[in-house]
Chains A and B, each alone.
Chain A
C-alpha cells in the first residue's frame, strides 16, 4: 500500500530494503560495462594509481624533495593514491549518475538514491585489484605485514559513505544546474591538493593543519597510510574529526536529496 502525497517518515527507508535487488543489479551493470571492449580491461584499475605514483615519485619525491616521513615515497604516495583514486572516480561517476540515467528516471519508479549509490559502489572491485599491487609493493620494500592492514576494510566504510553523500548532493544539484557537470572535475582536482596525498600533513604549518583536518579526506587518508605500516600509529583524533564531518555531510545529503527527488522526472 503506497500513498503518494507528502513524504512518509520511516516508510522511506523500508523502500530501500525492498529495492535492494535492483541496487545490486545496477552495481553489477556498472561494473560489467566499465571495461567492455577495452584493450586493457580491468588492468586500468591498477594503471591509474600506479602510474600516478610513478609520476609523483619522480616529481614530488625526487625533484621537489618532499619529505615523506621516513617512508619510501612510492609507498607514501601509493597508499594514499589507492583510496584517492577510488574517491575521485566514484565521486565523478556518482555526481553525473542521475543525468546519465535520465531515461530510467523518467520512465520507471524506484527510490532515486539507488542511482548515485550504485555508481559509488561500482569502483570497489577496482580498489580491491589495485590493493593487490600494494601488497606487492610492501613485499618489494620489505615492509612487514601487520594486523593493522585489516583496518583498511573498516576505513573503507566511511570512505564509501563520503562518496555516496557527495554523490547524492552533486547529482541532485546537477539535475537542476548543469554547471555542476563542469565543476566536478575542478572540485576533485582542488581536493587532491588540499589532501595529504602528495605531501604529509606535517608539511603544513600548524595553524593551517586545523583547516586541513576539516577535510574529511585528511583524517581518512592518514589513517589508511598509517595502518599499513607496523611502526605507525593511526591518528585517531583526526580520524574522528573526519568521521564527524562525513556524518554531517551524510545527513545533509539525505535531506537535500529527499527534498529535490520528487521533481527529478520533471526537470531532468
Chain B
C-alpha cells in the first residue's frame, strides 16, 4: 500500500514579534540608533511551530489531527498544502490535493454567485468542465437558486458560507486537507458540513481533518494524530488518542470544589458540605462530563451535632436557571438513619447523564423531613457537559438547541403490504 502522504523530520520556525521588514529604511535607521545605546537584543524571537515531525498516511487513510490551540495543527496543514514551506525536512504528497483552510476563498463580492462558483472552484483546483458538470448540484446544495445571479455582496453571511461550502463539498481531490472549517456557521450548517465530510471520505480519498470537535473526529477518522507544541504526542486509534488527550484537561482544571467558604449559604448548619469531588471510573478526579457518561461525585460533609434522617440533594439547573432535575437520597429511596458529629463523605453515581451539551449549575442541599434545612448552597458550582459520539453520528444532534435532555429511543418502521 503506497503512502499518499509522507512527512519526514519536518520543522517550521517562525519569527514572532513585530514583522521587522515593513520598511527597510526606517528600520535600518532605528536599529542603528538602538544598537548604539542598548546592549545586544535577545535573538530569541522565533518559535518552532513544528518540531521534527514525522508520520505517514497510506492512500485512502482518514486521519484526524487534534491538539490545543497553537499546537501547530494549522501550520502542519499549511505546510502540507504548500502554502508555506518547512524550515527543514521533507514532505511528499501523492495525487491531486485540495485544501479547505477556509470556506469561500477567493470570493469577490462584486461577482455573482454563479461567477464566484467558477472562481472559487478553480481556485480550489477544479477544472472548468468539472465545475460546469456540478454546477446545478452546487447551487442546490447551497440553497441559493433565486439569488445565483446576484452579486454576493448582497448575500447574507450565512448564504455566502453555504455557497462556499457547497463548492468545496463537490470537489473530488485525491488528498483532502480540512482545517476547522466546521467551526463557523450555525448548528444547521455544521450538521450539513459533517454529513458532506462523511460522504467525501468514502471513495478511497486520503483525508486529514483538523478539528476541535472531538465527537466528529471520533466518528469520521479511525486514526488520530495528537500534536502538542509542534511535536507528535500520540498517533493511533482515535478512541485511545482522544481519551488520552481528554485526560490532560481534567488535571488542569481541578476537579474538586472547596465548599467551606461559600457566600449566600443558608441553613441551620448542623451538617454542612465541605467539599465536592467529581471522579472518573478509576476514582481519579475529573472535570470532564460528556453526555451519556456516568457522573460520579463525592460529597464531603462535616456535622457539628447528631443529625437524624438527613437527605443529600443535588439539583441541576440550566444556564437560564430552569430546574432540570432534583437528585437526592430521598428521591432514590436511600435512607440514612443518622449522622454522627465529625467529617465524612457520601458517594453518588448518576448512571447515565442524559443531558445535552451545555453549561449547568448545581445546587447542593442537605435537608430533612418537615422542611428542615441544614445547608443550602444554590448554584454553587457549574459543570460543562460536552458532546460525545453517543449514537455514532459524530455528535450530531447533541446540542442545546434540541433541548436540555436526550432520551434513548428505539425506532421501527412498520412494513406495508
Binding site for B on A (CB under 8 A): 1-5, 21-22, 25, 29, 32-33, 36-37, 103-110, 176-179, 262-263, 265-267
When A and B form their complex, which 5 residue pairs have the shortest distance between CB atoms, in order from nearest?
A: A109-B82, A25-B122, A265-B84, A4-B91, A262-B85
Per the bound structure, the CA–CA distance linking A33 and B115 in Å amounts to: 11
B92 and A177 contacting across the interface, CB-CB below 8 Å: no
A178's contact among B23, B92, B127, by CB below 8 Å, is which?
A: B23
Q: Chain B nearest CB: distance from A200 CB in Å?
A: 38
CA distance A229 to B78 in the complex (A): 55
| Residues on the B chain within 8 Å of A2, using CB | 82, 92-93, 97
A25 and B22 CA atoms in complex are apart in Å by 31
Task: Confirm or deny: B244 has a beta carbon within 8 angstroms of a beta carbon on chain A.
Answer: no
**A177→B105 contact, CB < 8 A:** no
- Could you tell me which B residues sit within 8 Å of A by CB distance? 14, 19, 21-25, 78-79, 81-86, 89-95, 97, 99, 101-102, 105-106, 108, 110-111, 115, 118-119, 122-124, 127-128
Give A29 to B106 CA distance when docked, in angstroms: 10
Contact, CB under 8 Å: A33 / B128: no
Tell me if B105 and A104 are in contact (CB < 8 A).
yes
> Using Cβ atoms and an 8 Å threshold, which residues of chain B touch A177?
21-24
Q: How far is the CB of B259 from chain A (nearest CB, A)?
A: 49
Contacts of A106 in B (CB 8 A): 83
User: CA A126 – CA B388 in complex, angstroms?
Assistant: 59
8 Å CB contact of B102 from A22, A25, A107, A109:
A107
* A25 contact set on B, CB distance < 8 A: 118-119, 122-123
Q: Are A1 and B105 in contact (CB under 8 A)?
A: no
Given contacts A108-B106, A265-B83, contact A3 B123 (CB under 8 A): no
Contacts of A3 in B (CB 8 A): 90-92
Instruction: Point out the residues of chain B lying under 8 angstroms from A108, CB to CB.
Output: 81, 83, 99, 101, 105-106, 123-124
From B21, B78, B99, give the contact of A267 (CB < 8 A): B21
Residues of chain A contacted by B85 (CB below 8 angstroms): 4, 262-263
Determine the distance from Cα of A267 to Cα of B15 in the docked complex, in whole angstroms.
10
Chain A residues whose C-beta falls within 8 Å of the C-beta of B23 in the assembled complex: 177-179
Question: Which residue in B79, B101, B118 is a CB contact (below 8 Å) of A107?
Answer: B101
User: In the complex, which residues of chain B have a beta carbon less than 8 angstroms from the beta carbon of A110?
Assistant: 123
Contact A265 B78 (CB under 8 A): yes
Most chain B CB neighbours (cut-off 10 Å) among A29, A32, A108: A108
Known: A2-B93, A109-B97. 18 other contacts (CB 8 A): A1-B92, A3-B91, A5-B89, A29-B115, A32-B115, A33-B110, A37-B110, A104-B106, A104-B123, A107-B83, A107-B102, A108-B101, A109-B81, A109-B99, A263-B84, A263-B85, A266-B14, A267-B21
Tell me how far the C-beta of A184 lies from the nearest C-beta in chain B, rounded to whole angstroms.
15
Q: How far is the CB of A176 from chain B (nearest CB, A)?
A: 5
- A selection of 20 A-B contacts at a CB cut-off of 8 Å is A2-B93, A4-B93, A5-B90, A5-B91, A21-B128, A25-B119, A25-B122, A25-B123, A32-B110, A105-B83, A107-B83, A107-B102, A108-B81, A108-B101, A108-B105, A108-B123, A178-B23, A179-B23, A263-B85, A265-B78
A203 and B123 alpha carbons, distance in the complex (Å): 50
Whole-angstrom distance from the CB of A26 to the nearest CB of chain B?
Answer: 8
Asked if B108 and A178 sit within 8 Å, CB to CB, the answer is no
CA distance A266 to B115 in the complex (A): 30
On chain B, the residues within 8 Å of A263 by CB distance are: 84-85
Q: Which residues of B contact A179 (CB under 8 A)?
A: 23-25
Q: How far apart are B294's CB and chain A's nearest CB, in angstroms?
A: 43
Contact in complex: A1, B91 (CB < 8 Å): no
Point out the residues of chain A lying under 8 angstroms from B102, CB to CB.
107
User: Which residues of B lie under 8 Å from residue A267 when comparing CB positions?
Assistant: 19, 21
Asked whether, in the complex, the Cβ of A29 is within 8 Å of the Cβ of B99, the reply is no
With both beta carbons as reference points, the residue of chain A lying nearest to B129 in the complex is identified as A21
Shortest CB–CB separation between residue A202 and chain B, in angstroms? 39
B108-A29 in contact (CB<8A): yes
> In chain A, what residue has the closest Cβ to B8?
A5
Say how far A177's CB is from chain B's closest CB, in angstroms: 5
Given A2-B82, A108-B124, the answer on whether A178 and B22 have CB atoms closer than 8 Å is yes
Is there an interface contact between A109 and B90, defined as CB atoms closer than 8 Å?
no
Q: Is A4 touching B82 in the complex (CB atoms < 8 A)?
A: yes
C-alpha spacing A105/B110, complex, angstroms: 20
For residue B124, which residues in chain A have a CB less than 8 angstroms away from its CB? 108
The answer to whether B110 and A109 have CB atoms under 8 Å apart is no
A180 to chain B, nearest CB (A): 10
